[in-house]
Each structure stands twice: as structure tokens, then as C-alpha cells.
Amino acid sequence: MSVKSGPEHRLVVRRCLISGRVQGVYYRASAAQRARAAGITGHARNLPDGRVEVLACGSDHAVGEFIAWLWVGPAAAKVSDVAAEALELALEELPQEFRTA
């Protein structure tokens, strides 16, 4: 992943926990499509408690727009909350693609 300079291109990592009706509604696959189109790496996976966890790594601007989309999700989803926290990962720890699990 190449990152340009400037504040809008600053690399950020966010871990998001999405609550609501987000499992079994194509949420992870839709998130993966959005992330890949935006050049975001990371993952989307179901959690045992019914939430979806999303790790998003990319430019500040792209990740911000992606998190805004996480509040909407695909048509069948009913998102009630998106809790996002900033993480710091070493460059070698950053995922090279966006995956679903």
C-alpha cells in the first residue's frame, strides 16, 4: 500500500464494532467491496455476540468515509451503533488486503 503525503493521506487504523442486524445480511461482503474500492486494507468478521468487527487501514479521508458507510451498510442491515477506536500498528503489521472471515 502506498501512502501519499499530506494530512488527508495520513495513514490511520481503526477498529470498528458494528451492532444491530448486521449478520446474515451481506454486511461483511458489502464492507469488503467498499473497502477494496477505497484502497482500504483490513478485515470484516462476525463476532459470537452478533456484532461485526471491522479493521480499516488506509488514508484518513478514505477510512473516515468508510466508517460513515458502516453506519448504513447494505440494504438489509439495520445498524444501531458503530464504535470506532484508533489503533497503532507497526508498518509490518498492516494487512496487505481486505479480507472477510
The strand order across the sheet containing 98-100 reads 78-86, 11-21, 52-59, 41-46, 98-100
- Of the residues 15, 21, 46, 99, which is catalytic? 46
- Residue 88 phi/psi, 5-degree rounding, is -120, 120
10 is catalytic: no
State how far the Cα of 50 lies from the Cα of 47, in Å rounded to an integer: 6
Q: Which of 28, 36, 45, 51 is catalytic?
A: 28
**Is 28 noted as a catalytic residue in this protein?**
yes
Residues involved in catalysis: 28, 46
